[in-house]
Amino acid sequence: VSRVPLSVRLPFLNVALVHIGMLTALDQFMLGAVLGHSMTLGQAFLAIFIGSAIFGVVTVGLGYAGMKEGMSGSLLARWCGFGRIGSVLIGLVIAISLIGWFGVQNAVFAKALNFAMADKLGFGWSAALSGMALTLLVAFGFRALRFTAKIAVPMFVIVVGYISIMTLSGHNIAELIASAPNGEAISISAGATMVVGGCIVASLITPDMTRYSQKGKHVFWMTMMSIIVGEFIVNGLAIIIARALNTADVVTIMSQAAGGIGLIAVIFSTLRVNDINLYSSSLGIANAIEGVTGKKLRYVSITLVIGLIGTLLSVAGILDRFIDFLTLLGVLFPPIIGVMLVDYYILRTHKVLLETSRAEGLLPDSAQTPLIGWPAIIASIAGAIVGLAFEWGVPAFNSLLAASLLYWLIKYYTNNHVYFRKLGHNQNLK
């Protein structure tokens, strides 16, 4: 809850590698497998291109603001339309989405565990066991998680490369590219929204990392590298592998092509990602409770409750709703980002306040910080409804555009209304 001073900003690669790591994970491989199983190669890559373009623009915009102000995303939201309470709500939305990701990743972990034990436990008990075990590890700070984090990313990259070589060496690549998909068809617009949904939470928390960046161009190249590696390389390999093995099931892909090594990669990758999901969502909820009530609840108790909820989502079958989950995220988060970008770059509501406090290296005065920004909240909700209700075009872009325009119109009307009221009051005094 403070600005990151220029004196402690980090070199480009230090920040870029963390950001790239968010998009080189199991969930991107899962997304690519779904696209490859349900779309032609051309349609899949077009969906990735459209989704990446939306992600790239909003991520660079938010990331640059985070770099310039030295603030995290939820903190920046206080002076980008949402106010103090509004920023707490954004933190809660992020936390809830991360609980959903916990459920998705834990379900993948559980399938791998159940497969390794020859279906002796069954999926439900495997999900309950893996979810609560990870929750206890994170809640009580078990040191083994540091070890898994260090080896999970390299192992995942190595295994994906190994699977690609083993799987594709026995196939005609030209035939795979030309072959028709065998899964239930997904439209390009729906695919693009799924791509946005798979990475949009990363966009909203990009300022959390770029507040440590030194220059604006670092933000741009960091985002481009994340898109190339995460969206086009990892997704692209998953698309082709899913077509070769005729399945969108990640555990099946890993086990068929890499055997025990693949299962270990699934487990370690899930541990790494869910460690972050559980920890970040716990902190977000803890901060939200403290911001609203002033009470500080114990981190361990919050983590245990959140872990239980995420585990129940796994058992209930959230993995079966993976496409719906991505679609929901793809229309829920773009409106929030659109409102923040319009306020920061176009309306510049708190430009003077931010510049003055930035020069002093402090946050803007709390007395001058709005309590809650109703126009931003209304526009975000309306944008999400537009994205869900209308299927023409790309729903993720529709929700972004609708919220941005509505917020601009509301602020334009209210500002003019206040101006004319003040003008009339001054004339009456004269």
Is the pLDDT at 25 greater than 80, yes or no?
Answer: no
Q: What is the mean pLDDT of residues 339-368?
A: 90
How would residue 227 be classed by pLDDT, with cut points 50, 70 and 90?
Answer: very high
Q: What is the mean pLDDT of residues 84-102?
A: 86
Q: What per-residue confidence (pLDDT) applies to 427? A: 60
| CA 28 to chain CA mean position, Å | 11
Q: What per-residue confidence (pLDDT) applies to 346? A: 94
Q: What per-residue confidence (pLDDT) applies to 362? A: 86
Q: What is the mean pLDDT of residues 176-195?
A: 86
Is the pLDDT at 155 greater than 60, yes or no?
Answer: yes
Q: Which long-range contacts (CB under 8 A, 24 or more apart) does 29-32 make?
A: 29/160, 29/234, 29/235, 29/237, 29/238, 29/250, 30/104, 30/108, 30/238, 30/250, 30/322, 31/194, 31/195, 31/198, 31/235, 31/238, 31/326, 32/234, 32/235, 32/236, 32/237, 32/238, 32/239, 32/242
Q: What per-residue confidence (pLDDT) applies to 182? A: 80
The residue that leads in pLDDT, 182 or 217, is 217
Q: What is the mean pLDDT of residues 311-321?
A: 88
Q: Which long-range contacts (CB under 8 A, 24 or more apart) does 245-250 make?
A: 245/167, 246/37, 246/182, 247/33, 247/37, 248/33, 248/34, 248/36, 248/37, 248/38, 248/183, 249/33, 249/111, 250/26, 250/29, 250/30, 250/33, 250/108
Is the pLDDT at 289 greater than 60, yes or no?
Answer: yes
Most confident of 13-17, 62-66, 86-90, 199-203: 62-66
pLDDT tens column, 230-286: 899 888 888 888 888 887 877 777 766 666 777 777 777 777 677 777 777 776 777
pTM of the model: 0.83
Backbone angles phi, psi at 5, to 5 degrees: -65, 155
Q: What is the mean pLDDT of residues 67-79?
A: 88
Mean pLDDT across the chain = 84
How would residue 336 be classed by pLDDT, with cut points 50, 70 and 90?
Answer: very high
How would residue 67 be classed by pLDDT, with cut points 50, 70 and 90?
Answer: very high
How would residue 9 be classed by pLDDT, with cut points 50, 70 and 90?
Answer: very high
How would residue 406 be classed by pLDDT, with cut points 50, 70 and 90?
Answer: very high
Q: Report the range of poorest mean pLDDT among 34-43, 157-166, 392-401.
A: 157-166
Is the pLDDT at 28 greater than 80, yes or no?
Answer: yes
Q: What is the mean pLDDT of residues 175-200?
A: 86
How would residue 428 be classed by pLDDT, with cut points 50, 70 and 90?
Answer: low
Is the pLDDT at 143 greater than 60, yes or no?
Answer: no
